Structure 1
Amino acid sequence: MIRRLQALPLRQRRVAAGLLFAAGLLAILLVTLLLILLTFNAGDRRDSAVALEAGVRVREFAVLPDEDAYPAAISAAPEGALYTGSYVSGAIWRVTPAGQVEELPGTRGALGAVAGLQAAPEGVLYIVDQWDASPLSTGGALMLREAGGRLRELADDFSEPDDVTRDDAGNVYVSDRGAGLVWRLTPAGESGPWWRPPASERAAAPTGLAWDATRQALVVTDSARDAIYRVSVDGTSETLYQHGEAGHAPGLDGVTLTPQGQVLVAAQSQNGLALLEDGELRYLAGVFRGISDLAWSAGRIYATNFDSFSLVVGLLRPRLPFALDVIEAGALLTG
């Protein structure tokens, strides 16, 4: 082969040498990528979340049964049960206060991608179904699971619905990241866009929702602006937190509140749980596996390990098993 190359004209030899160099470089890159994938996919890669403050305790609470569980959302019912659902299979699970997991019949397959949940006092469950787990998909619906188990659609006029909550008067709110707004459904059946974040050069993406009963207001996280807003029932709002220009953006997602109104957020980009305190984020725990949502129940915080990165990079396996964590923060939190 060397002699054949030497017999070629100079110009052709240079082209051949360039092609050989490029092929060698590509081979090195492919081998490197393969080694990286083998490293990420080898064995049990499960990380355990850790406390970042004195007096905080973190432990695994419940393991979900499926390798495609991908729990994006969590909600606590008044009686103490927790609800979470799969972003891939549509299955919804009820988790008892003791950590026992049971699947709700009729949810798997009937729902596509569970993105948001809100358990209501009368035994019903509001569900945001994004229909498809593909990162390229759009649209979705607000579903209601009645106390008897029947599923029915309440609305589907969304671009990219994410979370759902309900206020004390029975109004239901849905965040729509794609449309940059919060949508509302009243008990009378009236529905439509209700609130948009303040005007800014940066696009808005309302994401996490929680009802603040102490102030009769809605708390909204914005995953694009990394902001937290409080919105009164009349639609007026105030900014509780705005991430600056410095690095380490939190990637705000789910939000929950203590009975006294303390705001807790899932900082997905930092894999951390943070308390909003005097306009700043105080991280209480970290090293979650893609923390995406939170729920408060009986003095404890419950967090999902969504681990959605493997949905985007299909060659990577998720860090199994999918699980919910429980965090106790003692005197740091009231309620």
Structure 2
Amino acid sequence: MPSPSPSPTPSPEIHIQEYPVSDPAAGPYALTTGPDGALWYTLVHAGRIGRLVPGQEPVDHPLPGPDRGPTTITPGPDGALWFTATTGHRIGRITTTGEVTEFAPPTPGSGPFGITAGPDGALWFTETAADRIGRITPDGEITEFPLPVTGGFPSAITAGADGGLWFTLNQAGAVGRIGTDGTVVLHPLPTPDAGPVGIAAGPDGALWCVEIAAGQLARITPDGAVEEFPLPDRAARPHGLTVDTSGTVWFTEWGTARIGRRTPDGTLTTYDLPTPGSEPHGITVGPDGALWTALETGSLARIAPVGAGPTPG
């Protein structure tokens, strides 16, 4: 395991350590916990998928072709990891042993970005350049559903507790829901040009998203009611988020190299990452119960309450 960078505790509650997993040019972008108890992450600029077991050395897996630009990654229903290759216009599947298969959506140049496992045993993904939502079965059959908006730039996507798939429309300032039957409903955000990116489901059935252009969090109920929460630094450029089992929202501030936390009682706290300008993107609960975030400058950062458990060596 690479040695962690020096990491002063940024608060009495939270301890953060950074673990280098690539050179700074490779660009760790998004990450998830796999079925094998490892962290899996995309290296957007290097065109590779990485795997890290906390406490061990990272391993990289190359993709079949150049210029793939892997972005988001999620566990699939088949025991593999599924990812989007945005610049390569592919959906990828990687087994826990590193075997990669790729699938091309029917629409050329569609720019797939977000991906998540749906309640129907398929994977659902966004097509940023095609104004579509895609569905792919584990055997590679793809169906596309057009959206009722042009140039909306559908971005992140997540499964909701209501049985639908919820996604952000970064350029349309809206959050959308698509049912497994393909029915689409859009919910505009109150703030114009908010630029929503990451989205995640909470344990209470509501959805949360970050508004990168407005510097806010937003909570959306299944019936489409939206409430927005401004961040202390409106220029923080919030990018990714996850919601833990307690209902606490954790999010990354790409523009300020911070991690933010909003508890269910509304308390909002931010924490500086050890390395200035580290560009945090995706964030997830790791296999060790801590929060992990991907830093585009070449590391993964572990965020955990002090005393919550040992830090991997």
Which category describes the TM-score, using the shorter chain as reference length? 0.5 to 0.7
Which residue of the other structure, out of 210, 219, 227, is the alignment partner of 1:230?
A: 219
For 1:85 and 1:257, how far apart are their aligned partners in 2? 22
For 1:300 and 1:111, how far apart are their aligned partners in 2? 37
Q: CA deviation at 1:302?
A: 4.6
User: CA contact under 8 A between 1:180 and 1:206: conserved in structure 2?
Assistant: yes
In the other structure, the counterpart of 1:207 is 197
For 1:289 and 1:72, how far apart are their aligned partners in 2? 17
Which structure shows the higher strand fraction? 2
For 1:113 and 1:58, how far apart are their aligned partners in 2? 30
Higher-Rg structure is: 1
Gaps of 5+ in 1: 1-47, 132-138, 308-318
| Farther-moved stretch of structure 1 (165-174 vs 269-278) | 269-278
2:126 alignment partner AA = V
User: CA contact under 8 A between 2:92 and 2:103: conserved in structure 1?
Assistant: no
User: CA contact under 8 A between 1:265 and 1:274: conserved in structure 2?
Assistant: yes
Q: Tell me the alpha carbon deviations over residues 201-259 of structure 1, each in whole angstroms, 9 at most, x when there is no partner.
A: x53222211010x22101011111010011112222333443446xxx22111211112
Q: Tell me the alpha carbon deviations over residues 247-287 of structure 1, each in whole angstroms, 9 at most, x when there is no partner.
A: xx221112111122221212222344433351232345655
Q: TM-score, normalised by structure 2?
A: 0.67
Taking a change above 3 Å as real, the CA distance of residues 106 and 153 of structure 1, as seen in their structure-2 partners, is same
Taking a change above 3 Å as real, the CA distance of residues 157 and 123 of structure 1, as seen in their structure-2 partners, is same
SS at match of 1:118: strand
SS at match of 1:269: coil
Aligned length: 256
Taking a change above 3 Å as real, the CA distance of residues 57 and 236 of structure 1, as seen in their structure-2 partners, is same
User: CA contact under 8 A between 2:135 and 2:142: conserved in structure 1?
Assistant: yes
Taking a change above 3 Å as real, the CA distance of residues 221 and 103 of structure 1, as seen in their structure-2 partners, is same
Q: CA deviation at 1:70?
A: 3.3
User: CA contact under 8 A between 1:293 and 1:304: conserved in structure 2?
Assistant: yes
Correspondence 1:103 to 2:100: yes
Correspondence 1:58 to 2:18: yes
Displacement over 6 Å in runs of 4+? 108-111
Gaps of 5+ in 2: 22-38, 40-49, 51-59
Taking a change above 3 Å as real, the CA distance of residues 262 and 91 of structure 1, as seen in their structure-2 partners, is same
Q: CA RMSD in A?
A: 3.5
Taking a change above 3 Å as real, the CA distance of residues 273 and 233 of structure 1, as seen in their structure-2 partners, is same
For 2:131 and 2:275, how far apart are their aligned partners in 1? 31
In the other structure, the counterpart of 1:197 is 189
SS at match of 1:126: strand
Q: Percent identity?
A: 18
User: CA contact under 8 A between 2:113 and 2:128: conserved in structure 1?
Assistant: yes
Taking a change above 3 Å as real, the CA distance of residues 148 and 77 of structure 1, as seen in their structure-2 partners, is closer
User: CA contact under 8 A between 1:74 and 1:293: conserved in structure 2?
Assistant: no
